[in-house]
Amino acid sequence: MKSVPSFPNAVCWEPASRPCVTNTIALDVLPAVFLAVHSPSLLRQAGVDGSSIAETEEHFLADFLDVAHDQVFELVVGDFGSGKSHLIRWMYFEITRLNAERGNKWHVVLIPDAARWHEFIAPDTPTPDAARHRALDELARLLENEETLNQPGARPLSDDEREIRRALPAFLRDDALREWLTQRAELDSQLGDPVQLHWDEKQLELPPEIYRKASSHAQELAGLLMSDQGIRQMSARLLNEAWPDTAGALRGNFSQALTEMRKALRGNGRELVLLIDELSAAQGIEGEMLEALAGPSEESLCPLRSIVGMTKEVAGALPDHIRSRLRHTVLLGMPISSQAVAEEGAIESKQLALFAARYLNAARYPFDDLEAWHRNPENRAKPLPSFCLASGCVNRERCHAAFGAPAPDADAGGYGLYPFTAETLLRLYQRTDETCSESSRTFNPGRLINRVLNTVLEAGEQTIPQGNFPPAALLGAFGLDNTSEEFQASRLRRALELYDPARTDLPPGIADAFGLSVAEEKAAEPLPAIAEAQLARDLIEVLWQEHLDADFPPECRGADINGIDVVLLDADTAGCISTFLHHGHRLDMWRLAVIGICYHDLAVVSHDLTGEGKEYFRRLEELAGLVIREVQNSSAQE
């Protein structure tokens, strides 16, 4: 285990591990990291009258598995980043652990994405080679069915396209041509995944030696593909147009596949536990899945316990007959209290601090140490030991006294909050939404991890070793910046703004941790402008990746707010930000004007929206503001 350098200006976490530990996509997190950072989810069980009561995850899981109920259908509802995926993955790990103790009575299935259900719910799983051949067989079958050409909305075909379409089935069924198609690098990795395949004319450039191996029925089209680019382009278009129906046929019917699986499990005396990470709509394939999960139990089928994650907007759109079959709905997004004594049902500052401390503690361990800890089954029922204690950190006593060190239990030891304090965590979290909306007053783990922990730790990695923490760009990211020369030049002034703006001097422990004193501050060098700019750009990159990873809110499609087309607003803003990132962090005058107008409109839109839509456009507003400020700062320095 590594030793921690002594104060001042020590980075005690692992910069290489930090991005993985703070990954908010729960289904992508390594099991060892997941267990190390896990905090019990804070739940409320929804009542039929709109009320809710506090619920623990342990009690919720016990009720979900209660043998008194053989058909359980439940929802977990919350905004993007509220912890739905985390709760569902925790349930998966716990049920898997309990399954080993209870004679493997459950067949446990975790579906990360509704579009991929066919990978997990199937009576048999074909080999990759068989799946590829099945895909080509289905595609050939659909192309030779000329009735589809007369369906409403079908694109009229030219005479050449009709001839090509008639020849394609024989081409796809030819053994030599099929072997060549499935061995091509562009297709081999995709034919087994019907959702992803896209044909282009380059994939159909046939070499002469393959043409010579083809049967006489397939050689006519094969010869044209070998010599005529136009024929290749038309063929690729026809294949792409037929592919969505092919993909649907390959997936089959969810209800039918689920029924077959339950019949097979019934014969083996087992139950099915189905955990679905997120459904993004109540219609289409997602609607079909909900109908199947909510259907009545039958004697010939095994018991089914299912839980589905979704946003409040999707849950609100559920048909009444689906809603009536729910056993329970649990809600995420508990209110955060800023009072000394928290209101009933609210999260206290100390709970927020312990949540963050688990991530900070895990980020201090090298990955190898986390994996070694996780390999011992006995450790999985206990919190990760405090790195501060295990490493013999020389700063521990004064660091914990100055910054705080909440402990998950008496045995694990305190998890140091450095470089945060409990008060700073709460204040920065609240600053992530300057509008003080309902969203900002509830606990959203994704926002705390991405916008607070990651932002501050990344800035610390770049500036603490040089004695330049906290940089002005970091405070600017939270709307704490002050443009006065004193603020820009004074690290002590910036530290006061970060840790306790009501004071005129830092607590001695915090000042010592960063080597800050009035006498030393007078001689301190300000952070170079180029480093400040890099921190700002890093923050823009982080937020931009968050934006790219987020789905466009379904409730905002086609929406018009105060005369603002939100789809067009999203596209205009994203276009300017993309140009900024891909053209040397610059914008021409026209695009600067466009993003300035967008910034104004985003403030209007985000103010009027709620839930996932508000989160989406509030982040875009923050991004636009950061880009505008960075362009202006760059111009001023030239």
Angle, vertex CA 27, rays to CA 22 and CA 29, nearest 5:
35
Residues 378 and 513 in one domain: yes
Claim to verify: residue 153 and residue 182 sit in the same structural domain: yes
Say if residue 405 is in the same domain as residue 293. Answer: no
Domain membership flag for residue 70: yes
Whether residue 198 lies inside any domain: the answer is: yes
| Same-domain pairing of 143 and 193 | yes
Q: Residue 243: phi, psi to the nearest 5?
A: -65, -40
Any domain includes 544: no
**pLDDT tens sequence across 511-547:** 999 988 654 444 444 445 555 566 677 788 888 888 8
For residues 202 and 132, the model is more confident at 202
Does the residue 111 lie in any domain? no
Which among 245, 258, 146, 143 is positioned nearest to 197, based on CA atoms?
Answer: 245
Give the number of domains in the chain. Answer: 4
Are 86 and 167 within one domain? no
Question: Domain range holding 64?
Answer: 42-105+270-331
What is the total residue count of the chain?
Answer: 638
Q: Do 288 and 343 fall within a single domain?
A: no
Do residues 497 and 570 share a domain? Answer: no
Q: Looking at the structure, tell me whether residues 87 and 206 fall in a common domain.
A: no
353 and 493, same structural domain?
yes
Same domain, residue pair 200 and 242: yes
Instruction: Determine the Cα–Cα distance for residues 274 and 155; give it in Å rounded to an integer.
Output: 40
62-67 own/partner pairs: CB under 8 Å, 24+ apart: 63/328, 64/91, 64/305, 64/307, 65/95, 65/98, 65/305
The secondary structure of 249-307, three-state, reads: HHHCCHHHHHHHHHHHHHHCCCEEEEEECCCCCCCHHHHHHHHHHHCCCCCCCCCEEEE
Domain check: are 519 and 621 in the same one?
A: no
Residue 203 lies in a domain: yes
Average pLDDT over residues 392-418: 92
Least Cα distance to 256 among 286, 292, 300 occurs for 292
Write the pLDDT tens digit of every residue in 279-323: 887 776 788 889 989 988 888 899 999 999 998 888 988 999 999
Asked whether residue 535 is assigned to any structural domain, the reply reads: no
Same domain, 226 and 308: no
Express each pLDDT in 78-136 by its tens digit. 988 889 999 999 999 999 989 988 889 999 999 987 777 777 776 455 556 666 777 78
Cα(409)–Cα(358) distance, integer angstroms: 12
**Is 214 within a domain?**
yes
Question: Per the confidence metrics, is the pTM higher than 0.85?
Answer: no
Give the confidence band of 187 by pLDDT, cuts at 50, 70, 90. low
